[in-house]
Amino acid sequence: MLPLTGRRRFLTTGALGLFALGAAGCSPLEADRRSAAPGDGNTWGFTDDAKRTVRLGSRPRRIVAYATAAAALWDYGIRPVGVYGSLRKQGGGKDVTLLGEVDLRRVATVGGTWGEISVERLGRLRPDLVVDPLQYGAHQLDQNSLELTGKLAPMVSIEVYGAKVDTAVRRYADLAASLGADFTTHELRSGKAAYTAARDRVRRAITARPGLRVLFASADHDGIRVSKAGFPSIADFEGLGLDVVKPTGGSTIYVEKLSWEVADRYPADLILLDVRASSLQPADLRSNSLWGNLPAIRTGRLGTWNPEPILSHHGMAKVYESLTATLTGV
């Protein structure tokens, strides 16, 4: 997900195809109510973080989800049939920072960049349910796209920015359980235990480095974006005791943009660089002397962070393990 400004461009080409479903033997209303395979005698219901309660005659099986939502469900054994969001890195490879273990060979792509969705492709999948996360209450789809999507399938949403990380993790687990994930299995019980243990370890690693000033950033050719606690993982780390560098400027709750000439405005002992494809990476910055002259970079105190973590037990355990390794290595 991107900050709300600048990401509201949407692909609705082929939207009329949604209404052509009736000619193909599946009306929009039938698609809206499509649910699990016959014979599943249990009705299904879920109240999401937008306070919507969705009730279906049986458990949904054909699920389409935003990238990080698909990744979280995948970690619990729920396999979406379609996915949308920023799915690939520059050069075309799968962006594992957002998709995690999702196998793009096994799911259909209904939108390949932030905010884009093809309603025609979505309709062809005949979804039972769409999972679209919330960013401080805002959907990843604009009103027009929401209305068109709503003619094809019911939607549920988990708040991933305006909620604490542990709450969002719990809510995705709740959704996965409702969709059939079995949390009594050894794999999922182990995953939850690993998440709890990793969170405890990172808390101890933070405590062991008092006063270590940590700056979260992303970079482009024009400068550096110093990140704020509008990103939930930063607020989470701060809650665990991390001394987060807090920029005082900028017009959003997400970042303050600095030109390279003033990239040293906020002193930091450690810099964590955005791993997403939307940010330059260390290899891209090697020839940038202004980057190289930052005190943390000169002393080799550089790590990574993901502004859009996968909010499953497995996904967040990896986040905590990465930060623990970075902190113990500086």
Closest CA to 271 of 236, 237, 227, 301: 301
Most confident of 105-119, 139-153, 192-206: 192-206
How confident is residue 10, by pLDDT bands cut at 50, 70 and 90? very low
Phi, psi of 321 (to 5 degrees): -65, -40
Q: What is the pLDDT of residues 270-302, one digit of tens each?
A: 999 999 988 999 999 999 999 999 999 999 999
Contacts of 303 (CB under 8 A, 6+ apart): 270, 271, 272, 273, 322, 323, 326, 330
Superfamily of domain 191-328 in the CATH hierarchy: Nitrogenase molybdenum iron protein domain (3.40.50.1980)
Residue 80 token pair: 């979406």
- Dihedral (Cα; 194, 196, 197, 200), 10-degree rounding: 150
SS3 call for 200: helix
- Choosing among 3.30.70.920, 3.30.70.270, 3.40.50.1980, 3.30.365.10, the CATH entry for 15-181 is 3.40.50.1980
Q: Domain residue spans in the chain? A: 15-181, 191-328
Closest CA to 219 of 297, 309, 292, 284: 284
Q: What is the pLDDT of residues 41-66, one digit of tens each?
A: 579 999 999 999 999 999 999 999 99
**What letter does residue 159 receive in the DSSP assignment?**
B
Q: Could you give the angle at the alpha carbon of 305 between the alpha carbons of 241 and 291, nearest 5°?
A: 105
The residue type at 260? W
pLDDT, residue 1, reads: 56
- Is a pLDDT exceeding 90 seen at residue 14? no
CA–CA distance, 136 with 160 (Å, rounded to integer)? 8
CA–CA distance, 138 with 30 (Å, rounded to integer)? 27
pLDDT, residue 240, reads: 97
Q: What is the mean pLDDT of residues 175-203?
A: 98
pLDDT, residue 142, reads: 75
Cβ pair 95, 87 in contact under 8 A: yes
Residue 32 token pair: 């809206």
CA–CA distance, 241 with 59 (Å, rounded to integer)? 41
- Is a pLDDT exceeding 60 seen at residue 32? no
CA–CA distance, 257 with 111 (Å, rounded to integer)? 28
Q: What is the mean pLDDT of residues 111-124?
A: 86
Residue with token string 């600048």: 6
Q: What is the mean pLDDT of residues 256-268?
A: 98
pLDDT, residue 330, reads: 85
- Is a pLDDT exceeding 80 seen at residue 18? no
Q: What is the mean pLDDT of the chain?
A: 88
pTM of the model: 0.86
DSSP state string for 91-135: TS-B-HHHHTT--TTSSEEEE-STT---HHHHHHH--SEEE--BB
The residue type at 22? G
CA distances from 174 to 20, 42, 49, 77, 170 (A): 35, 17, 12, 13, 6
pLDDT, residue 316, reads: 98
